[in-house]
């Protein structure tokens, strides 16, 4: 289970001296009550920044102090209750370079190393991940991610894993062999690899044929990943087509998850269950 929208910077820390812990506490309590492993999402992102941060006029030292305090407060509050953290989200460009974000501009290019160190200090037992999209298979962006995390490992930065978001479009899924090869090379660095936000959007209407194809895409990714050393988890970005970010973001697309809008099991659910049973 993932904390989803509850812990974005703007949601949990909307003003400099005010945190809003209610929604996050609710998710954590639900996970604990139901014995579910919980993933925290996300400490550092260029999106979902509150205006007091994005528009504030801070020195580099002040901003570093603000960020350290933010990370220490949140990771510390949920210490022992959140098993994995997406520490840094989407910091690599599609050409493989380091993205020009608010954090990079104001803290310098080694901000990523620094925030992993702060997160590790706040909860030494949490597994710390770098998380990104469109770097699932092989290519310049996944090379950029690979080089980033390889460098972090070499510098002794406390990173435990890489999250492959896996937001797919039915018409253009990655080659499962490329995904397997990418997981293998990341695993060889001593990192865990989680698929962190999988969904497969379909151009509407979602016919029976498209849903059968969708099931094949889901199971091809699952089957390609399961036996690769380092592969650790597959997490979906929601469970019912009734509640998904796709509807708002991609008009004309939908039906990306394993249960339909009426909470009924879809072909993708059947094939994923069978794939896991076989493993
Ligand atoms: O902050 C407002 C709040 O004041 C208001 O009451 C509420 C009313 O709907 O909206 C709140 O903001 C929303 C926010 O989620 C928090 O709930 C935004 O409108 C909404 O656009 C935002 O969407 C999330 C989005 O990330 C943020 O960019 C989506 O639900 C979430 O699925 C999506 O998830 C991202 C991952 O974090 C990273 N990877 C890509 C993925 C899909 O974009």
Q: List pLDDT tens digits, range 45-84.
A: 999 999 999 999 999 999 999 999 999 999 999 999 999 9
Q: What is the pLDDT of residue 214?
A: 98
- Determine the average pLDDT of the residues in 109-132: 98
Q: What is the pLDDT of residue 279?
A: 83
Atom of ligand 1 nearest to the CA of 41: 37
- Determine the average pLDDT of the residues in 97-124: 97
Q: Is 15 a catalytic residue?
A: no
Is the shortest distance between the CB of 247 and ligand 1 below 6 Å? no
- Determine the average pLDDT of the residues in 237-248: 97
Cα(238)–Cα(241) distance, rounded to whole angstroms? Answer: 8
What is the per-residue pLDDT across 205-223, written as a single tens digit (0 to 9) for each? Answer: 999 999 999 999 999 999 9
Cα(129)–Cα(42) distance, rounded to whole angstroms? Answer: 10
- Determine the average pLDDT of the residues in 174-191: 98
Is the shortest distance between the CB of 131 and ligand 1 below 6 Å? no
Q: What is the pLDDT of residue 118?
A: 98
Q: What is the pLDDT of residue 153?
A: 98
CA of 157 to the centre of ligand 1 (A): 30
The half-sphere exposure of 148 on its side-chain side, counting CA atoms within 13 A, is 30
Average pLDDT, the chain: 97
Q: What is the pLDDT of residue 144?
A: 98
DSSP result, 171-215: TSPPPHHHHHHHHHHHHTTT-EEEEEEEEEEEESS--HHHHHHHH
Residue nearest to atom 4 of ligand 1 (CA): 11
Cα(170)–Cα(178) distance, rounded to whole angstroms? Answer: 17
Torsion-angle region of 169 (φ positive above 0: left; ψ -120 to 50: alpha; else: beta): beta
41, 3 contact by CB (below 8 A): yes
- Determine the average pLDDT of the residues in 126-155: 98
> What band does 246 get if pLDDT is binned at 50, 70 and 90?
very high
Number of Cβ within a 10 Å radius of residue 85? 30
Q: Where are the alpha helices (DSSP H) in 20-163?
A: 22-33, 51-54, 60-77, 102-107, 111-122, 140-154
CA of 48 to the centre of ligand 1 (A): 8
| pTM, full prediction | 0.97
């Amino acid at each position: 289970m993932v904390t989803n929208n509850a812990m974005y910077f703007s949601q949990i820390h909307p003003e400099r001296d005010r945190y809003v812990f209610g929604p996050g506490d609710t998710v954590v309590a639900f996970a604990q009550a139901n014995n579910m492993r919980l993933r925290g999402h996300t400490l550092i992102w260029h999106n979902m920044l509150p205006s007091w941060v994005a528009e504030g006029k801070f020195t580099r030292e002040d901003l570093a102090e603000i960020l350290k305090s933010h990370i220490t407060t949140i990771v510390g509050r949920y210490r022992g209750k959140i098993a994995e953290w997406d520490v840094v989200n989407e910091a690599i460009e599609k050409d493989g370079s380091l993205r020009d974000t608010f954090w990079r501009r104001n803290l310098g290019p080694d901000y990523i190393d620094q925030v992993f160190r702060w997160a590790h200090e706040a909860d030494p037992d949490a597994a710390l991940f770098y998380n990104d999209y469109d770097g699932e298979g092989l290519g310049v962006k996944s090379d950029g991610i690979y080089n980033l995390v390889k460098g972090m490992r070499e510098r002794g930065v406390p990173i435990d894993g890489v999250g492959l978001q896996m937001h797919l479009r039915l018409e253009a899924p990655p080659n499962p062999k490329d995904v397997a090869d990418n997981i293998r090379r990341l695993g060889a660095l001593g990192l865990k690899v989680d698929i962190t936000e999988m969904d497969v959007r379909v151009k509407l209407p979602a016919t029976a044929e498209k849903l059968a194809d969708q099931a094949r895409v889901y199971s091809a990714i699952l089957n390609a990943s399961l036996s690769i050393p380092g592969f650790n988890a597959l997490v979906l970005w929601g469970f019912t087509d009734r509640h998904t970010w796709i509807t708002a973001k991609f008009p004309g697309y939908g039906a990306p998850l394993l249960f339909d809008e009426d909470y009924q099991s879809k072909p993708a659910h059947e094939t994923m269950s069978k794939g896991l049973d076989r493993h």
